[in-house]
Structure 1
Amino acid sequence: MKKNKKKPKARKKVSRKPKARKKVSRKAKTRKKVSRKAKTRKKVSRKAKTRKKVSRKAKIPKKNINNAEKELIFKTRPEWVNNALASKSQYQKKYTDSIKNNNEFWKKEGKRISWIKPYKKIKNVKYSKTDVKIKWYEDGTLNASSNCIDRHLKDKKDKTAIIWVGDDPKDTRKISYQQLHNEVSKAANGLKSLGIKKGDRVTIYLTMIPELAITMLACARIGAIHSIIFGGFSADSISGRINDCESEFIITADEGVRGGKTIPLKEITDEALLKCPNVKKCIVVKRTGNSINWVNERDIWYDDLIKNVSNQCDPEEMNAEDPLFILYTSGSTGKPKGVLHTTGGYMVYASMTHQYIFNYKPKDIYWCTADIGWVTGHSYIIYGPLANGATTIMFEGIPTYPDNSRWWQIIDKYKVNIFYTAPTAIRALMRDGDEPVKKTSRKSLKLLGTVGEPINPEAWMWY
């Protein structure tokens, strides 16, 4: 029995040995730390594996590639290829030149517009953590309004510059380059009579009527900086933008018309101006003729402003880096931010992209359905097309009024060749089916474009 009692003690000694093992296990922990690094490396290798997976996806069987081509790639008609501004090889050469010989590329492209004083410097660009500097053609001078109008008068004065299509299909107007010159000059002289000069900010709150194009070009003609606000914005949105850019003048209308409904532009403007004590004058375009509130000391009818002024106004000489316009962001991610666009670089780029992207030819009828209240409208309804001497369509209404075939009817009526719209609008029209589209021929169309967001395959195929 005594011997048996001693045995557990021996076991206790044995049981202490695991403690020594624990010490060994601590070393193992150290090894584990090392192994963690290895795990980190493994994670890196996993990324590599992910890349391999992507590359595997790229290796589609030949049969699938052929099917994809049949389904998604449309061959261009031979006559369109022959009439293109550039062949595939010419495009590749131009693209390569734009990268390898960047200064020479933009030196040449800069000559597509007219300069009062030719530029010698091409670009002055600097990016750092403390400073961002972007200047184009900074020693040259020009005028944006003159580039959009005056330089075309010699050989295009009778050509239609703007086709205005009203909300009501019965409302339409064609404005030649000569007529546009006269109306812009009168508007410019009217603005000057109010004391508006180079560098002043002018807010424009209008829907898509001819006076919107005329007044923005009039501002550019005298060197005033226009700040256009989308015609559907609220009083608070307007007052915030007016105060932020320190504008002292606003151009609006009695009412706007859209989709068969009126928009009380003057009423909204009056509410906004209660918070804008620095605004001196409110110029009002008569669109509907309905009764509106009037502030005698401040308000003036647009028709009265241009009644007794000359239809000749010399364009102001502007430096390439002088501001052309301020356009505010939508404010969906915070306070709207005023984005300032200078004159020279913007005009060159708007002209170039309008011509190259849309393969624009002098006889083409071009229609961008955007609102001028957004930058697409600035660039691809007004400044780009007019700088190229194009005929551009300006549409007041919506695609579903008075019926959901409206856009296609306009395309047929004016024989539109280039059509540029948004995926959102296309998806909305898809819901109405093919019948509204089949009512029209659309035979004049040769190029379709979309803007504003990526377009989903289903919408593009339908389009």
Structure 2
Amino acid sequence: MWASDPTLREDVLTMTGRYQELYDRSMTHSEEFWAEAAQKLSWYKKWDRVLDDSNAPFYRWFSGGEVNTCFNALDRHIEDGRGDQAALIYDSPVTSTVETFTYTRLRDEVARLAGALQARGVTKGDRVIIYMPMIPQAAMAMLACARIGAIHSVVFGGFAANELATRFNDAKPKLVMAASCGVEGSRVIEYKPLLDRAIERADHKPESVLLFQRSQCEAPMQDGRDYDWVVECAKAAPADCVPVAATDPLYILYTSGTTGQPKGVVRDNGGHMVALHWSMKNIYGVEAGDVYWAASDVGWVVGHSYIVYAPLLAGCTTIMYEGKPVGTPDAGAFWRVISQHQVKVLFTAPTAFRAIKRDDPNAKLMGDYDLSCFEALYLAGERSDPDTLQWAEKSLGVPVIDHWWQTETGWPICANPRGVELLPIKYGSPTVAVCGWDVQVVDEGGNCLERGKIGALVAKLPLPPGTLPTLWQNEDRFKSSYLEEFPGYYATGDAGFIDEDGYIYVMSRTDDIINVAGHRLSTGGMEEVLSGHQDVAECAVIGVHDDLKGQLPLGFVVLKSGVTRPHDTIIAEIVAMVRDQIGPVAAFKQATIVDRLPKTRSGKILRKTMRSIADGESYNTPATIDDPAILPEIADALKEIGYAK
């Protein structure tokens, strides 16, 4: 077993210097480095400049080049003889469906769908909103847009009508591609009424809706606006790939903004394609023919990058999973998928493994499946606490790799580059900067800090290919959101430090660094201590207002299934642990035990909202929240200990 044999572990983790050599070249010969990566893909026209800095800070990669992302994701592999290989496996425990699409079948269905879009007047540069659950047609919709040069914007299926309307107003789509419903556990979520209300409320109204009717819910159609997906595809002529500029947008993905107005992150075609293709082999250690599974949703950046585009660009088989880590049907769901489909690498959020650990703390359900095909687990989306990571490592017996990236970056900033060499794992760190990323730590004035000091994590400009070149039709906001705070750098919004070996530690969002009587402390460090308690499944720490010390840390704890010990005893133990491991300076004296934590649908804990409730401030229910009903539960728990008055 990789994790339990210390002799084998030492052999596996012997550093060869391959990573450092490759990383150094990506820094000193950046354009040559990325040009070599780009040459592994198909281009209609080669680029004029690898890096165009003529309009800095709006850098552009592969300017002058012409390309098509869909061709590189599908048609290229068919031309290379991989047409009969599985491209996409749809696994839906909530509908008892498993379906496999070969590269040829997926290409043919995408081409016909692209033809249906053209028949409805969609052309290169038009925007298309995609509002769908985790079904194959969602991936087909993205690829069909890419095929004809339309710009897609995926909105998480089931998003509220008001939020959907704001995206209509910003992106101004010509057409919407939607499904009649989504299935979450045993619930059927009707999408069409939400879509109809969004169109009614929006100032910009799309000309047409292409609706995929699911058997779980057939939605009414509006004459002259709504068209049946299957009918339209059946009569459409397959569309060929349309060449687009490498610098043309591939998609817009909206992310929450501090003003309440969502930010439309733009992704280009050329740089995105090159970076994602490079990442599959060098970061994840997978190649054409391997089965790769990102357990996420196409509504999030992980779904864009590592369910749809990267695996298909690399010629892998990608898994599209319509289910949960627990409850569909149990905490063995992930092991069943890995075993049944021979998954080599899984990428998911730490919260998924916390849920599995909570329901099956001894990983007994894992014993029901043959996982000999499985080589590595990757975690991202929020900070991976060492306890969860070590639990997964011990249970699976393979490397468990934390890595760090963001919606804006589109692919990892920091990772353990398993495809180059597996570096020694340090718990709590996503390891080192990925090739192309110059990550530094700075203070509030933008001055570089010495090793070990906590500050703002930033990346020196220009950013590597695949990252956001701007925000949709809002260059001023792009600069004010990411570039103005630390001139010459991209501000990640995260805080952390770099140790003496160059390992990067992402401790928390910069607004989760709390000030306790003048001491700057990371709530992430306290969460790390809490998660190490034997009875704790999940936790969160926020800074609440205190008249004397400015802020004090307050802990929220979710217990593992079956724990019956007195809550007061458990709280006393975790308070003592923080005092012992961080020190009295943390002033950690209070915690509350709750049944669940408020999260986004991607699994991120809504700490800012919790802090507003605790401090008695007004707040808006985040559009991305998984279940709004949890917020009153949190308020009640806080009132019991003297907060949220």
TM-score when normalising by structure 2: 0.57
1:181 aligns with 2:107: yes
Shift of 1:449: 0.4
Structure 2 counterpart of 1:426, from 353, 367, 379 = 353
Q: Tell me, in whole angstroms, the C-alpha distance in 2 between the residues paired with 1:274 and 1:160.
A: 41
Structure 1 counterpart of 2:75, from 150, 153, 160 = 150
Q: Tell me, in whole angstroms, the C-alpha distance in 2 between the residues paired with 1:179 and 1:430.
A: 38
Q: Tell me, in whole angstroms, the C-alpha distance in 2 between the residues paired with 1:299 and 1:225.
A: 20
Structure 1 counterpart of 2:330, from 403, 410, 425 = 403
Task: Determine helix, strand or coil for the equivalent of 1:88.
Answer: coil
1:102 aligns with 2:30: yes
Q: Deviations over 1:148-175 (max 9, x none)?
A: 0111002100000001111336301100
- Tell me, yes or no, if the aligned pair for 1:267 and 1:293 is still in contact at 8 Å: no
Letter of the aligned partner of 2:65 in structure 1? G
- Tell me, yes or no, if the aligned pair for 2:158 and 2:194 is still in contact at 8 Å: no
Structure 1 counterpart of 2:232, from 278, 294, 305 = 305
1:438 aligns with 2:438: no
Residues 134 and 161 (structure 1), Cα distance of their counterparts in 2 relative to 1, 3 Å cut: same
Please name the residue that 1:462 is paired with: 391
Residues 296 and 109 (structure 1), Cα distance of their counterparts in 2 relative to 1, 3 Å cut: same
Q: Which has the higher contact order (CA 8 A, sep 6+)?
A: 1
- Tell me, yes or no, if the aligned pair for 2:47 and 2:65 is still in contact at 8 Å: yes
Structure 2 counterpart of 1:265, from 168, 184, 191 = 191
Letter of the aligned partner of 1:444 in structure 2? C
Please name the residue that 2:53 is paired with: 125
Q: Which runs of 5+ in 1 are unaligned?
A: 1-69
Shift of 1:330: 3.3
Alignment of 1:142-291 (within 5 A): 142-154=67-79, 155-168=81-94, 170-276=96-202, 277-291=204-218
Q: Deviations over 1:207-235 (max 9, x none)?
A: 01000011110000111000000113111
Q: Tell me, in whole angstroms, the C-alpha distance in 1 between the residues paired with 2:335 and 2:258.
A: 32
Q: Tell me, in whole angstroms, the C-alpha distance in 2 between the residues paired with 1:302 and 1:74.
A: 57
Q: Tell me, in whole angstroms, the C-alpha distance in 2 between the residues paired with 1:274 and 1:115.
A: 42
Q: Deviations over 1:14-35 (max 9, x none)?
A: xxxxxxxxxxxxxxxxxxxxxx
Letter of the aligned partner of 2:354 in structure 1? R
Q: Tell me, in whole angstroms, the C-alpha distance in 2 between the residues paired with 1:202 and 1:88.
A: 47
1:292 aligns with 2:219: yes
Residues 384 and 101 (structure 1), Cα distance of their counterparts in 2 relative to 1, 3 Å cut: same
Q: Tell me, in whole angstroms, the C-alpha distance in 2 between the residues paired with 1:362 and 1:77.
A: 29
Please name the residue that 1:315 is paired with: 241
The range that moved more, 332-341 or 248-257, is: 332-341
Structure 2 counterpart of 1:324, from 244, 250, 256 = 250
Alignment of 1:71-82 (within 5 A): 75=8
Shift of 1:342: 0.9
Letter of the aligned partner of 1:199 in structure 2? G
Structure 1 counterpart of 2:319, from 369, 376, 393 = 393
Q: Tell me, in whole angstroms, the C-alpha distance in 2 between the residues paired with 1:462 and 1:215.
A: 38
Task: Determine helix, strand or coil for the equivalent of 2:124.
Answer: coil
Task: Determine helix, strand or coil for the equivalent of 1:182.
Answer: helix
1:369 aligns with 2:298: no
Q: Tell me, in whole angstroms, the C-alpha distance in 2 between the residues paired with 1:429 and 1:289.
A: 28
The range that moved more, 165-174 or 210-219, is: 165-174
- Tell me, yes or no, if the aligned pair for 2:246 and 2:271 is still in contact at 8 Å: yes
Please name the residue that 2:280 is paired with: 354
1:451 aligns with 2:380: yes
Q: Tell me, in whole angstroms, the C-alpha distance in 2 between the residues paired with 1:74 and 1:212.
A: 46
Residues 367 and 224 (structure 1), Cα distance of their counterparts in 2 relative to 1, 3 Å cut: same
Please name the residue that 1:336 is paired with: 262
Residues 75 and 97 (structure 1), Cα distance of their counterparts in 2 relative to 1, 3 Å cut: farther
Please name the residue that 1:139 is paired with: 64
Q: Tell me, in whole angstroms, the C-alpha distance in 2 between the residues paired with 1:219 and 1:229.
A: 15
Task: Determine helix, strand or coil for the equivalent of 1:408.
Answer: helix
Task: Determine helix, strand or coil for the equivalent of 1:426.
Answer: helix
RMSD of aligned residue pairs (Cα, Å) = 2.2
- Tell me, yes or no, if the aligned pair for 1:198 and 1:223 is still in contact at 8 Å: yes
Q: Tell me, in whole angstroms, the C-alpha distance in 1 between the residues paired with 2:100 and 2:10.
A: 32
Q: Deviations over 1:311-358 (max 9, x none)?
A: 3x2211100111100000035762110011111011101111122111
- Tell me, yes or no, if the aligned pair for 2:180 and 2:191 is still in contact at 8 Å: yes
TM-score when normalising by structure 1: 0.79
Structure having the higher Rg: 1
Q: Tell me, in whole angstroms, the C-alpha distance in 1 between the residues paired with 2:173 and 2:16.
A: 48
More helix by proportion, 1 or 2?
Answer: 1
Q: Which consecutive segments of 4 or more residues in structure 1 shift more than 6 A?
A: 70-74
- Tell me, yes or no, if the aligned pair for 2:280 and 2:287 is still in contact at 8 Å: no
Shift of 1:74: 8.7
Shift of 1:77: 9.1
Q: Deviations over 1:160-210 (max 9, x none)?
A: 000111133630110000001100100000000000000100000000100
Please name the residue that 1:59 is paired with: none
- Tell me, yes or no, if the aligned pair for 2:289 and 2:315 is still in contact at 8 Å: no
Q: Tell me, in whole angstroms, the C-alpha distance in 2 between the residues paired with 1:116 and 1:144.
A: 11
The range that moved more, 330-339 or 393-402, is: 330-339
Shift of 1:437: 2.7
Task: Determine helix, strand or coil for the equivalent of 1:172.
Answer: strand
Shift of 1:289: 5.0
Q: Tell me, in whole angstroms, the C-alpha distance in 1 between the residues paired with 2:20 and 2:302.
A: 26
Task: Determine helix, strand or coil for the equivalent of 2:101.
Answer: strand
Q: Which runs of 5+ in 2 are unaligned?
A: 393-645
Letter of the aligned partner of 2:224 in structure 1? E
Letter of the aligned partner of 1:203 in structure 2? I
Please name the residue that 1:11 is paired with: none
Q: Tell me, in whole angstroms, the C-alpha distance in 1 between the residues paired with 2:334 and 2:95.
A: 11
Shift of 1:248: 2.3
Q: Tell me, in whole angstroms, the C-alpha distance in 2 between the residues paired with 1:232 and 1:169.
A: 18
